[in-house]
Amino acid sequence: MDSDRELRRQRREKHKEHQTLKEQELKSQKDIEMLDKIKERDSKIREIQRQRDELIKMRMENKTSQHSDVNDANAVRHKQLRRETVGERVQHNCKEMEHERRTELDHDDDVDGAVGLTVGLKTDDYHGNDYESDMDSIDEELSWLTKKIEGHSRCMLILRT
């Protein structure tokens, strides 16, 4: 009997030990999962801080420049505004040329008007900024202007006929 009791006691102890080991294993798995979540969160925080630091650095660099446009969206909006104002000037100049043709004051001013637009683009105070130093931006603006002028020239040809 004593041996039966002893065997049962040993089984209970083994079972308790086994349960304790299972609980510890589960707890360690949960701890590992929590650590993984913490690491993931920390990496996200570091990425956000890195981006913030880059923005701060860009802002500090831009404070010394003429414009303090920090992100590309502002630059794109500014470029779009420039295009719109250039487009409005092209339309206005086309209307003036059309008026001159109608009143027959000057029929040979097509080329001079186009040259005046180009000079206006280079000497306009509104455009005296960082974009002038960027040759790609200037080339892009000139190609856009050329397309606009060609479109308005076609319009003028239609009106002339």
Q: What residue ranges do the domains of the chain occupy?
A: 1-64, 73-160
In this prediction, residue 12 carries a pLDDT of 92
Kindly report, residue by residue over 22-70, the tens digit of the pLDDT. Answer: 888 888 888 889 989 999 999 999 999 999 888 888 877 766 555 554 5
Kindly report, residue by residue over 124-134, the tens digit of the pLDDT. Answer: 444 445 544 55
Q: Is the dihedral of CA 72, 78, 81, 87 positive or negative?
A: negative
The winner for highest mean pLDDT among 42-56, 107-121, 128-142 is 42-56
In this prediction, residue 106 carries a pLDDT of 47
Take residue 150 and report the two structure tokens written for it: 């060609």
Take residue 22 and report the two structure tokens written for it: 């299972």
Q: Give the predicted TM-score (pTM) of the model.
A: 0.29
Q: Is the dihedral of CA 54, 59, 62, 66 positive or negative?
A: positive
Range in 4-13, 50-59, 96-105, 109-118 with the lowest mean pLDDT:
109-118
Tell me how many degrees the CA angle 23-28-29 measures, rounded to the nearest 5. 100
In this prediction, residue 88 carries a pLDDT of 72
CA end-to-end span of the chain: 123
Gap between the Cα atoms of 49 and 11, Å rounded: 56
